[in-house]
Amino acid sequence: MKDYLRLHFIVLLWGFTAILGKLITVPPVELVFWRTGLASLGLLGLLLVRRRPWRLPAADVARLLGVGAIVAAHWITFFLSARLSSVSVSLAGMATLALWTSLLEPLVLWRKVRGYEVGLGLLTMVGLYIVSQAELGQLLGLGVAIISAGLSALFSVINSKLVKQHPPLKLTLYEMVGACLSIALFLPLYSEYFSNGRGLQLGLHGYDWLWLALLAGVCTVYAFSASVELMKRLSAFVVNLTINLEPVYGIVMAVILYSWGVAGFEEEKLSPGFYLGTVIILVSVLIHPVLDRWDKRRLLKRDAVLT
């Protein structure tokens, strides 16, 4: 029971990241630069404290740094979507992660397309249509969130292969370093052409340091290392099913902050149609691991009969 409660707490922290991104005043690009830089230092410190090796061959390092660039793009678009619309709309778009994964896995891993995933994908599209019709004024943020979900799915599919070759903490360290370096290389171009003449805004103000420490230290370093530890005792099915609750927790927290009158969360007042569409999307997300487990059992039984 302690492990289950801890897992839900970790997923709650991940659902809180969009809210922290809304509270931090620096723009999304600079925000992700800070997050990945601090997370890199935290992960390196964690490996050193646990006395685990952190070096890798140059070819593997280059590959992981490249994956880190995808992570950077995912997080930038994720925080940008919350700024363009609302936390709830952003998380509704991110809930399409399972749909993206069902599309990308057959292409990247060369596996067969599963019929039930196509059906759930169509159900997700129905939910997205209802959400978009309900919140026409927030379509740009929703679109960016859907792109962010696609980048996250691509990163997850690639990582599903890499995690079999490298320890998770070491793998994440190099991906965080890659994300930070890719943004650092992009900053001069960003400052010149994409900052609307404001230049870089790396300075932190007010409670930014506190929110950033929570984002990098608690929601990234702690949450990831703790989830890896829990995976040693909990089944992958239980972990994945619980992680799918991340948008639910995030939307509930955003609505609570709106009801409390917290500044910056006025956009969380959304129409009933938005919540209907979101429920449809989340139902498809939560059903997916159940059907996936059923399909694997069916294939095992079939193979047992054939042998």
Taking alpha carbons only, the member of 144, 146, 158, 159 closest to residue 97 is 146
The two structure tokens encoding residue 266: 């006025």
pLDDT at 135: 81
pLDDT (average), residues 213-228: 90
C-alpha span between 70 and 176 (Å, rounded)? 10
Is the pLDDT at 204 greater than 80? The verdict is yes
Taking alpha carbons only, the member of 248, 267, 242, 245 closest to residue 87 is 267
pLDDT (average), residues 95-115: 82
C-alpha span between 186 and 52 (Å, rounded)? 32
pLDDT (average), residues 260-266: 81
Is the pLDDT at 219 greater than 90? The verdict is yes
pLDDT band, residue 307 (cuts 50/70/90): low
Give the Cβ contact number of residue 227 at 10 Å.
20
Is the pLDDT at 65 greater than 70? The verdict is yes
Give the Cβ contact number of residue 296 at 10 Å.
11
pLDDT at 98: 80
pLDDT at 93: 92
Residue bearing the bigger pLDDT, 31 or 101:
31
The 10s digit of each residue's pLDDT in 39-52 is 999 999 999 998 88
Report which listed range, 56-60, 179-183, 263-267, is most confident: 179-183
pLDDT at 12: 93
Is the pLDDT at 269 greater than 90? The verdict is no
| Residue 19: alpha-carbon gap to chain centroid | 13
Q: Buried b vs exposed e over 230-262: b needs ≥16 C-beta within 10 Å?
A: beeebeeebbebbbbbbbbbbbebbbebbeeee
Residue bearing the bigger pLDDT, 194 or 276:
276
pLDDT (average), residues 43-72: 92
CA torsion sign for 77, 237, 105, 64 is positive
* pTM given for the model: 0.89
Say if CB 247 and CB 282 are below 8 A apart.
yes
pLDDT at 89: 92
Burial (CB count within 10 angstroms: exposed 0-12, middle 13-18, buried 19+), residue 106: middle
pLDDT band, residue 127 (cuts 50/70/90): very high
Residue bearing the bigger pLDDT, 28 or 234:
28
Q: What is the mean pLDDT of the chain?
A: 89
pLDDT at 174: 95
Q: For the chain, how far is it from start to end, CA to CA, in angstroms?
A: 39
